[in-house]
A and B are shown apart, each in its own frame.
Chain A
């Protein structure tokens, strides 16, 4: 089962893409670990993650095809 990871704002400068699909590593923490290995520029970068449009406050298991959004500080308006 794949999950889709989306990048927004300045994070796209680090990832070099807007989205990537990977095999589900099982949890939001594991996604974070994968991200930091794959894109070392994300280590120390300021961003929040959302699982299926809900901000991730505590680590969660990922049990279904999901979308994880990586979002730097908002700057709308």
Chain B
């Protein structure tokens, strides 16, 4: 089975998100969309400013895990569709690194499915973020 790719090199462009929304105009059985966007935050750690995050992944495993998450979500929620994109490589502060988009007939389904999907992505996908500081030093990100 062909696994669906979720990875985007670099930041996720806002125009890509707009295009993705536009494409759903023909799916007239949808009554609700929910979108989660992850943005790289300018954290200050020990007086050093984060300027970006560099993402790496165990890609084949991540895509297999994402397929399993997708199946679990579709089994639990009556979704019309779900789209997931995650950045790889460098993403600057203020840019987008995660885009999760769920659609359904009614809002509760789309909202709850989106939230659960984001939590699973953070907990289960083998992806790592390296926080890069302005002096080119770094530390490995920890999810809270």
User: Which A residues contact B (CB, under 8 angstroms)?
Assistant: 6, 8-10, 50, 53, 69, 71-77
* Total inter-chain residue pairs, C-beta < 8 Å: 65
In contact, A76 and B61 (Cβ under 8 angstroms): no
In contact, A9 and B140 (Cβ under 8 angstroms): yes
In contact, A73 and B56 (Cβ under 8 angstroms): no
Cβ 8 A contact of A75, one of B64, B118, B140: B140
Cβ 8 A contact of A73, one of B57, B60, B143: B143
What residues on B are CB-neighbors of A9 within 8 Å?
A: 56, 128, 130, 140
In contact, A75 and B127 (Cβ under 8 angstroms): yes
In contact, A77 and B58 (Cβ under 8 angstroms): no
A8-B126, A76-B122, A76-B129 as given contacts; A71 in contact with B142, CB under 8 Å:
no
How far, in whole Å, are A73 and B141 apart by their CA atoms in the complex? 10
Could you tell me the dominant secondary structure of chain A's interface residues? Answer: loop
B35 in the interface (beta carbon within 8 A): no
Cβ 8 A contact of A53, one of B56, B61, B97, B129: B61
How far, in whole Å, are A8 and B82 apart by their CA atoms in the complex? 28
How far, in whole Å, are A29 and B44 apart by their CA atoms in the complex? 40
B124 in the interface (beta carbon within 8 A): yes
Q: List 30 A-B contacts (CB under 8 A).
A: A8-B126, A8-B128, A9-B128, A9-B130, A9-B140, A10-B128, A50-B58, A50-B61, A53-B58, A71-B58, A71-B126, A72-B128, A73-B142, A73-B143, A74-B124, A74-B126, A74-B127, A74-B128, A75-B128, A75-B129, A75-B143, A76-B55, A76-B86, A76-B121, A76-B125, A76-B126, A76-B129, A77-B38, A77-B118, A77-B143
